Chains A and B, each alone.
Chain A
């Protein structure tokens, strides 16, 4: 592989000790950056022989600690496998290596009048392999679904180093178990994804982006319910609370109103006539629910600016306090308003600062506690608050994680959510597949 691609000095390896998750880091002994699937396979075989565990990472932007190294592990960094291999406009597919950047895949599809819908917040730098391993979501989940809905095939290096291929370019394929689906969202515990075959869609001919501001969060949530009830499925329905609006505006300086309680970012795309009609209806529904101000983005540039600003929300919240603890709880859409006000109450009760934003259209919210990891007392209160939020989420029929994965951050709650039998079955699969527990040990479950 060449010495340049095996890192062992402290100065080289310390920067691989963390991913995008706050307050989590681990010790790194060695980082290996393979340049081909064959090299990945060789590294896995060697690790297997030496009984060394492997933690796989791409750009390290994960938000549940999925690629935080564990003691004594080898960090397998796949950013060098970054080629986009083919865009097949006839079959609407893109084939890419695992280290290809999500936004680059979308840009490659764009050249053929196509697009790749999943758009996680870190799409400018996140790798597609990481997106598949975490089953990432994004701002367009309501209409377009998540990463899983776009994976047609995978090349995977198995825990013993064998290379396997799953799926193909056929829209219909019921030959045997749908093995690729087992790997999507497996968080690096079952195999190492080295290549992906993705579904892409024709680019919508028109798109309209709108922004509505409200004095009460409930009114924003109710607008969303009204839109769905009117049989409209917009591609984006995002919200920011007051704290988040302030932080995003501090960073992006695009004139967001700082004095409202909720901002709703709405986008509809598709046939120009349908877009025009849906946008009119959505604006009317927002006004009817008492939106204080409703406006339409002037042009594509402004629309992009608004979406980018929303994408920066999580990092922008880090301006306020030293440590930013991000949650990813998701509830059925009609319970979202209840959940948002519950989060606010819990924060108040435990005297904590919280900023909440997220995907109102699909019930996925990101309550973000602004705290300081060095303040033990405050951190204890954060954990109590998280516990209450998780309990409420599960009571409402929700999930502990909508799009970030379990990793290290949420494994304590997985059993409670999925139940004993389901949890055991997951562990049995992991045990059968990787009996020596060499791939990403300690993630998802102990």
Chain B
């Protein structure tokens, strides 16, 4: 059955009483002052579609794509509207109606969402090729002699944004099972897709933090994509298939917790229960899965994360909330608490810390202008804090803001909270060895 607004439980649409409390929280409304670019405006369009008053149109499709999906409206909404569900349904309907697709957009969609992100080994292989291209100096050379100009327009725009691929991927850094001296918990570690290709070292840091707190860490070397990209972009069937593969690899009953360190993935991962509600076999399993899924910061603070005895010197740090970690997963306090455990760190609050940075999944690719505006706004606030380190916990935000800081010529370093904590534990170990 194709997802559709008409078939959706109507009370989810009715839940919005259009009071307008979401308007000041919505980055696209604040940027444009137009109701259709607001959460309640979009919901009114969805309801018009469900009521048969509005036909699915390219303009409707545009609007669904213009939404960041940052879910700031869900935090602001006193009525508890399930906007995420509405948006995914609307996008899936747009997708299956084949609206608004050019040949190139369809091509890239097929290559990425239906191709690479369905096949983890292929994704790593392509990642390795990219790494070679970057490592062998080809990137610099091509750019210099203007060869990149031969790329199709879409790729040419994206080429400078391409993140630097890591030298080693997660399996080269983390053994399938690693045990602490004293084991209190048995946990699984999800290594992610972008996180694995670009930030495999952050996965290592995550494992180290878990080990330092008595967790036996299980990290299978080949892991499927969690399907978040697919669900957010209207590919419901693929999302379901991937969710099943993930659960096959990590039977939830075997672990005390399943740990994710990417905000965007985490928000999708903890809702497998809803995604597979209609599935007789996987439905009940997914329910159990949801109870085991934990963001790394959440898990650490839940079990009394051990404060390191050494720090990294005096550091002024500020923290940017990834949308899906704060608005989706409601994990807001824990990353800050975790940072405050590290000796020498002074945490200063970032103005508009939970305002989207414009990365928003593939939004920086699909809506480059609005994405850039949000990035400039974010970077301005970050620089204004006077901090020397910006901490954030999502690979998308990490890449986006790091690029923004580079563009602005700022020396601020971008690190993830787990990295800072892992480094503090290492400093502690060194101190002990020194004695």
List the interface of chain A (C-beta within 8 A of B).
Answer: 7, 9-12, 14-20, 22, 33, 59-61, 77, 79-80, 82, 101, 122, 124-126, 247-248, 250-252, 312-316, 318-319, 322-324, 372-374
Contact = CB atoms under 8 A, between A and B. Distances in A.
A63 B214 CA distance: 55
A324 B17 contact: yes
B35 interface: yes
B79 A322 contact: no
A12 B54 CA distance: 12
Contacts of A125: 20-21, 23-24
B19 A17 contact: no
A183 B35 CA distance: 27
Contact of B35 (A9, A60, A247, A323): A60
A14 B77 CA distance: 21
B17 A14 contact: no
Interface of B: 10-11, 14-15, 17-21, 23-24, 33-36, 38, 40-42, 44-45, 48, 53-54, 57, 59-60, 63, 77-80
B366 to A, nearest CB: 18
9 contacts: A10-B57, A11-B36, A15-B38, A20-B17, A20-B20, A59-B20, A59-B23, A122-B20, A322-B10
A79 B33 contact: yes
A20 B20 CA distance: 7
B44 A316 contact: no
Given A19-B18, A322-B14, A14 B54 contact: yes
Contacts of B17: 20, 22, 315, 318, 323-324
Contact of B21 (A15, A80, A252, A315): A315
Contacts of B35: 15-16, 60, 77
B45 A316 contact: no
Contact of B19 (A7, A12, A16, A122): A122
Contacts of B78: 247-248, 251-252, 312-316, 318-319
Given A11-B54, A61-B19, A312-B21, A17 B36 contact: no
B79 A315 contact: yes
Given A18-B44, A250-B80, A319-B78, 18 more contacts: A7-B34, A11-B45, A12-B34, A12-B59, A14-B36, A61-B19, A80-B33, A125-B20, A125-B24, A251-B80, A314-B78, A315-B17, A315-B19, A315-B79, A318-B19, A318-B79, A372-B14, A373-B14
Contact of A14 (B23, B48, B80): B48
B19 A11 contact: no
For A11, A248, A373, which residue has the most chain B Cβ atoms within 10 angstroms?
Answer: A11
Nearest to B63: A11
A-B pairs, top 4 by smallest CB distance, nearest first, are A15-B41, A315-B78, A318-B79, A15-B35
A12 B36 contact: yes
B40 A15 contact: yes
Contacts of B48: 10, 14
A122 B21 CA distance: 7
A424 to B, nearest CB: 35
A296 B42 CA distance: 41
B152 to A, nearest CB: 30
B11 A322 contact: yes
B16 to A, nearest CB: 8
Contacts of B18: 18-20, 60
Nearest to B14: A322
A426 B247 CA distance: 69
B434 to A, nearest CB: 42
A85 B45 CA distance: 35
B80 A319 contact: yes
Contacts of B79: 315-316, 318-319, 324
A17 B47 CA distance: 12
Nearest to B30: A125
Contact of A61 (B11, B20, B41, B44): B20
Contacts of B60: 11
Contacts of A124: 21, 24
B23 A11 contact: no
Contact of B59 (A11, A15, A373): A11
A314 B78 CA distance: 8
Nearest to A16: B35
Given A16-B35, A80-B33, A322 B40 contact: no
A150 B80 CA distance: 34
B44 A15 contact: yes
Nearest to B48: A14
